[in-house]
A and B are shown apart, each in its own frame.
Chain A
Amino acid sequence: MLFVFFVPFVAPCAPVSRRIQTVVWLLLLAISFGCNSGAKPVLDGPARVTRVVSLAPNLTEIVFAVGAGDKLVGRTSYCDYPPEAKAVAEIGDTLHPSLERIIALKPQLVLISTSSQLEVFTQQLQNQNIRVFVTDPQDLEGVFKSITQIGEMLGQKDQADVLVTKLRERANAVEQAVKGKAPVRVFYQVSGEPLYTAGRDAFVTDLMHRAGITSVTADVPGAWPKYSNESALAAKPEAIILPTGGSMGAANSEVTEALRQSPAALRGRVYKINDDYLTRPGPRAIDGLEAMARALHPDAFK
């Protein structure tokens, strides 16, 4: 997947031998990381980075969490956490970043999340000799890997390792607590009208699995598929998770009309969980994991 995606943007402008080299390199990458792996560096280089721009809120959170917040010189308008991030210059939003403003900030490194679909943009940055790191974690391991890699690139390897160890401990504690509990069958409602859910490739699907939850849409292809109302009802979810209340505000705080007659809604098993924890593959994903496990398996945390 990754391989097919990036070659067209990288290949045409490189000399032939380098092009072949790039292709081989990307092929190796695609093989070594597999399709569902976590972070995928697009360019490699010397480790000394003093100025970095982040184009996604989860990446901004990672930069601060590994103790490199002072190196962040640019962020998107969606990057609102931690509060110190708001003092950093804005370069637009994730979908429409300003190339000029980024170049003016003279970063050595730009962090991108592939979910922002910025392949063409990536190429433009590379033409400016700015290194680009693209990451698209599809599970919790992928999040840990992004944290480690970003920590290494920003010269904060030790702090990143400590952070990953701590997060891993918390994740393991949750998994231990829900071990042996019957998994709860949940419908994860990304938005109600039209109905979107989390599919196979969404990292929240892995989080749910670890929290002792079976997502009824865990096998649906894609990350955020639009889903059939009647299939959602026919799946008879025991509970419904609504990611809401964070950056989403009050949006998505109600169960979609089609599911109001579902056993989950009738029994009041509808859980609102801060969408920032569940939609940002960063350090706070563990908060999301804990919140989901506590909501759906309250007896496991007494």
Chain B
Amino acid sequence: MNRVTLRKTLISCALLGGALLLAIVSMSLLGSERLPARASLCALASLGTRACGLTSDQFDILFQIRLPRILLAAAVGGSLATAGAGYQALLRNPLAEPYLLGISNGAAVGTMIALVFFGAVEWIRPLLAFTGALAATFAVYRLARGRAGATPERLILAGVIVTTFLSSAIVFVTTMMDATRIRSFTFWLLGDLSGTSKALLPVAITITILGALALTLHARSLNLLMLGERDAFDLGVEVGRVRVVVFLVASLLVGSSVAASGSVGYVGLVVPHLARLSLGSDNRISIPAAALGGALFVIVADTVARTIIAPRELPVGAITALIGAPLFIYLLKRV
């Protein structure tokens, strides 16, 4: 990596990382219940080792409910934005996004099957979600490759077909559930972070960090791949291997976030676009920036979702789509 890019990457990541930390702390102060700000900040600064005058209920709200949810929001946002950036670079298509390509739906079908047949075993959910995401990725990729190669239009059409097919599969799986659970599943399908599972949270965070690192390490190859697969091959990129790595890593990222929170839409589309618009299309910068920016975006969106009609709640997916769709139209008009 040349000196200018490395410096630019480090500075922008440091700035975004600072903003992320600021968001985690400040959003921890917002919720349906009011917590004393000074005491909360003191408790957060001590990383939960001191109560700083918070009552035990307030302490539990902050550290057992609010903070885990914010961290999960960060993991989900980081995962989806990183996966989106990866798909967009590999498929050379700015519209490639886990939600629009049906990959989130693949993961959702996997998760639902896990819930219906292995409801009690939590770790099966991300596993089957990953399998579903991978299968959907493979299906879209194969459908998109026509005789003339994969055109952007063909990819989006393939995504539409896979999405609708898997939506039907989701409806089919819901018929296997009892009526009382269906409503909570429709909520979950829209993307919902309220059921933060203590067991899955560390898994989701680990996968997000490792996934973002893995894709950033392949950023140079992805830069060359944006010239075209043939040119990249001539320049020494192991195209086949990079493709497998990106597909696996992105499916893992989508799978773990969908298993934890359902399908939160538009994150993988809007955030990488914003990253490229503000920092340039070099994947060595835009992938880590998208990871941090995605975390930031979903944390803010989920804070809106859990406070705007408190003590009732909205699914975070409704907020990301409400922010994401108009923003995306604006971005399209600008480019």
Q: With contacts A228-B310, A258-B65 known, is A234 near B178, CB below 8 A? A: no
Task: Name the residue on B nearest A252 (C-beta).
Answer: B180
Q: Which residues of A contact B188 (CB under 8 A)?
A: 194
Give Cα A252–Cα B119 distance, bound, in whole angstroms.
12
Contact with A along B18-62 (1 / 0, CB 8 A): 000000000000011100000000000000000000000100110
User: Nearest chain B CB to A245's CB is how many angstroms away?
Assistant: 12
CA distance A40 to B63 in the complex (A): 47
Are B312 and A229 neighbours in the complex by a CB distance under 8 Å?
no
Assess A225 versus B312: contact at CB under 8 Å? Given A233-B57, A258-B64, A261-B64: yes
Whose C-beta in chain A lies nearest to the C-beta of B69?
A229
Q: A248 with B61: in contact, given A194-B195, A231-B32 (CB under 8 Å)? A: no
B198 at the interface (CB under 8 A from A): yes
Asked whether, in the complex, the Cβ of B61 is within 8 Å of the Cβ of A247, the reply is no
Q: Which of B64, B65, B178 has the most CB of A within 10 A?
A: B65
The contact of B32 among A193, A228, A236, by CB within 8 Å, is A228
Bound Cα distance A228, B33 (Å): 9
What residues of chain B lie closer than 8 Å to A228, measured between beta carbons? 31-33, 194, 306, 310-313
Q: For the complex, is A34 an interface residue (Cβ under 8 Å from B)?
A: no
Residues of B within 8 A of A275 (CB): 180
> Who on chain B is nearest to A258 by CB?
B65
Do residues A251 and B178 form an inter-chain contact, with CB atoms below 8 A?
Answer: yes
Interface set, chain B 176-191, CB cutoff 8 A to A: 178-181, 183-184, 187-188
Is A95's CB within 8 Å of the partner chain B? yes
Q: Is the CB of A194 within 8 A of B312?
A: no
Total chain B interface residues with beta-carbon distance under 8 A? 28
State which residues 288-327 of B face A: CB under 8 Å: 306, 310-313
Q: By the criterion CB–CB under 8 Å, are A194 and B194 in contact?
A: yes
A194 CA to B57 CA, complexed, in Å: 20
A234 to B60 CA separation, bound complex (whole angstroms): 9
Q: In the bound complex, how far is the Cα of B195 from the Cα of A95, in angstroms?
A: 26
> Do residues B312 and A233 form an inter-chain contact, with CB atoms below 8 A?
no
Q: Which of B181, B194, B198 contacts A229 (CB 8 A)?
A: B194
Interface residue? A44 (CB, 8 A): no
B192 at the interface (CB under 8 A from A): yes
* B66 sits at the interface (CB 8 A): yes
In chain A, positions 220-266 with a C-beta closer than 8 Å to chain B are 220-222, 224-231, 233-234, 236, 247-249, 251-252, 257-258, 261
Q: Pick from A195, A227, A229, A275 the residue with the most CB of B within 10 Å.
A: A229
Of A94, A226, A257, chain B has the most CB atoms within 10 Å of the CB of A226
Which residue of A has the minimal Cβ distance to B31?
A: A230
Contact A231 B181 (CB under 8 A): no
Residues of chain B with a CB closer than 8 A to A196's CB: 183-184
| Nearest CB in chain A to that of B311: its residue | A231
Decide if B33 touches A234 in the complex (CB within 8 Å): yes
The verdict on A191 contacting chain B, using a C-beta distance below 8 Å, is yes
| Bound: A252/B183 CA distance, A | 14
Q: Which residues of B contact A248 (CB under 8 A)?
A: 178, 180
* Complex Cα spacing A283 to B222, Å: 67
Q: A251 contacts B181, CB within 8 Å?
A: yes
Q: With an 8 A cutoff between CB atoms, is A93 at the interface?
A: yes
Name the distance in Å between A243's Cβ and chain B's nearest Cβ: 9
Q: Which of A78, A94, A193 has the most CB of B within 10 A?
A: A193
Shortest Cβ distance from residue A53 to the other chain B in the assembled complex, whole angstroms: 19
Tell whether A226 pairs with B313 under 8 Å between CB atoms, given A94-B179, A258-B65.
yes
Complex-state Cα separation, A93 to B174, whole angstroms:
13
Asked if residues B311 and A233 are in contact (CB atoms below 8 Å), the reply is no
Q: Which residues of A contact B180 (CB under 8 A)?
A: 191, 247-248, 251-252, 275, 279
Residues of B contacting A234 in the complex (Cβ-Cβ under 8 angstroms): 33, 57, 61
Q: How far is the CB of B35 from chain A (nearest CB, A)?
A: 9
| A230 engages B178 (CB within 8 Å) | no
User: Is the CB–CB distance between A191 and B61 below 8 Å?
Assistant: no
A258 to B310, CA, bound (A): 16
With contact pairs A193-B184, A220-B312, A247-B178 given, residues A233 and B61 touching in the complex (Cβ less than 8 Å) = yes
Residues of B contacting A191 in the complex (Cβ-Cβ under 8 angstroms) = 180-181, 183-184
Contacts of A227 in B (CB 8 A): 311-313
Whether A230 pairs with B184 at a CB distance below 8 angstroms is no
Query: Cβ of A258: which chain B residues have Cβ within 8 Å of it?
Result: 64-65
Which residues of B, 151-202, contact A by the 8 Å Cβ criterion?
Answer: 178-181, 183-184, 187-188, 192, 194-195, 197-198
- Identify B60's interface contact among A194, A217, A233, CB under 8 A: A233
Across the interface, which residues of A come within 8 angstroms of B60, CB to CB? Answer: 233, 261
Q: Check A229 against B65 for contact (C-beta < 8 Å).
A: yes
A277 to chain B, nearest CB (A): 14
**B313 cross-chain contacts in A, Cβ below 8 A:** 194, 226-228
Q: Which residues of B contact A (CB under 8 A)?
A: 31-33, 57, 60-61, 64-66, 69, 178-181, 183-184, 187-188, 192, 194-195, 197-198, 306, 310-313
Q: Supply 19 further A-B pairs (C-beta < 8 A) apart from A194-B188, A230-B32, A231-B32.
A: A78-B179, A95-B179, A191-B181, A193-B194, A193-B195, A194-B184, A220-B311, A221-B312, A222-B312, A226-B312, A227-B313, A228-B310, A230-B61, A230-B65, A230-B66, A231-B310, A252-B180, A258-B64, A275-B180
Q: Could you pull out 28 A-B pairs where Cβ atoms are within 8 angstroms?
A: A78-B179, A94-B179, A191-B180, A191-B183, A193-B184, A193-B197, A194-B184, A194-B192, A194-B194, A196-B183, A220-B311, A226-B312, A226-B313, A227-B311, A228-B310, A228-B311, A228-B312, A228-B313, A229-B69, A230-B61, A230-B65, A231-B32, A233-B57, A233-B60, A233-B61, A247-B178, A247-B179, A247-B180
Listed in ascending order, the chain A residues whose CB lies under 8 Å from chain B are 78, 93-95, 191, 193-196, 217, 220-222, 224-231, 233-234, 236, 247-249, 251-252, 257-258, 261, 275, 279
